[in-house]
């Protein structure tokens, strides 16, 4: 049995050990996170950007997140997988939010749920979910689901009244039972002050190094997409360019030969290679999704 999310985060915070996490959406990213022994992964509604190719997360459905979470929990310790609740009508009522979150929690096999905001609905839902045994991760600062009303992707907490509001929201989420809080694009000094005030860990994204932990989108970490990553995201690889070059070489080999290119000496019946095993894993994921009674 893997260490549970709440225990792991509390232990890291108590020992003053930074919490490391990334987003995960599939076998590839979940496997990377597991082998790197990250503290948790978030199946974020950011899949709207990096999987669906949309400009925002607005169109992501809860069923999309549940689908990807089911894949991730098979390849990363399920107890430390956090399911992100995307924008939906259930956010208008704490009762509906609790119902939707519990159902998603049960269907996906995740270890916690996360939702943006700290209004009355979110606070009441956090308290009720915590009482039901569903760990809740809060999210304040920049809220991508409210990017239109917030006026774009802007640094948060620059004005004193905004800083006071963020402090109040963080304290309210803690009081409601949240096990941790994501601080997105919060002014770094303010993020540090909030982290010092709370007894639960803060997870920063673009909020400086004074948070208790950090999270980035896996595609930004690896440079998996064309174009520039957000300014706050450090890229540790540039895999899109390498992948594009490899696919172009493959296409050239196919077009210059009557047969698809194969490794020299490869014969039918030979032991499966990494690519074969990867394909088998993907097919197994698909079969599991389509199995009767698994909807």
220-232 pLDDT, tens digit per residue, is 999 999 988 888 8
pTM for the model stands at: 0.87
Q: What is the pLDDT of residue 295?
A: 38
What is the enclosing helix (H) or strand (E) of 168? helix 160-176
Helix axes 120-132, 94-108, angle to 10 degrees: 40
Q: Where are the domains of the chain?
A: 5-222, 242-290
Percent of the chain residues past pLDDT 90, beyond the cut: 76
* Confidence check: pLDDT of 1 > 70: no
CATH number given to 5-222: 3.20.20.60
Residues noted as catalytic? 184
The residue ranking higher by pLDDT, 255 or 149, is 255
Q: Please enumerate in sequence order all residues whose Cβ is within 8 A of that of 137, keeping only pairs 6 or more positions apart, or say none.
A: 42, 82, 112, 113, 114, 178, 179, 180, 181, 182, 203
């Amino acid at each position: 049995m893997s260490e549970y999310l709440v225990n792991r985060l509390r232990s890291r915070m108590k020992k003053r050990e930074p919490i490391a996490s990334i987003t995960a959406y599939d076998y590839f990213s979940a496997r990377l996170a597991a082998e790197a022994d990250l503290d948790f992964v978030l199946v974020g509604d950011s899949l709207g950007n990096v999987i669906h190719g949309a400009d925002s997360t607005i169109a992501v459905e809860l069923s999309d997140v549940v689908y990807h979470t089911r894949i991730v929990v098979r390849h990363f310790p399920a107890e430390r997988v956090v399911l992100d609740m995307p924008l939906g009508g259930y956010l208008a009522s704490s009762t509906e939010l609790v119902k939707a979150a519990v159902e998603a929690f049960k269907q996906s096999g995740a270890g916690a749920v996360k939702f943006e905001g700290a209004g009355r609905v979110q606070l009441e839902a956090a308290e009720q979910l915590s009482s039901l045994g569903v760990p809740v991760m809060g999210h304040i600062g920049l809220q991508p689901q409210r990017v239109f009303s917030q006026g774009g992707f802007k640094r948060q907490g620059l004005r004193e009244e905004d800083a006071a509001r963020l402090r109040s929201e963080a304290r309210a989420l803690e009081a409601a039972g949240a096990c941790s809080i994501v601080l997105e694009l919060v002014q770094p000094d303010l993020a540090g002050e909030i982290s010092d005030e709370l007894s639960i860990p803060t997870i920063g994204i673009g909020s400086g190094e004074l948070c208790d932990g950090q999270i980035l989108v896996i595609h930004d970490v690896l440079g998996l997409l064309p174009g520039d990553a957000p300014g706050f995201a450090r890229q540790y690889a540039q895999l899109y360019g390498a992948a594009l070059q490899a696919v172009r070489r493959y296409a050239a080999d196919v077009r210059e030969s009557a047969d698809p290119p194969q490794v020299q000496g490869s014969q039918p019946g030979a032991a499966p290679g990494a690519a074969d095993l990867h394909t088998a894993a993907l097919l197994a994921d698909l079969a599991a999704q389509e199995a009767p009674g698994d909807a």
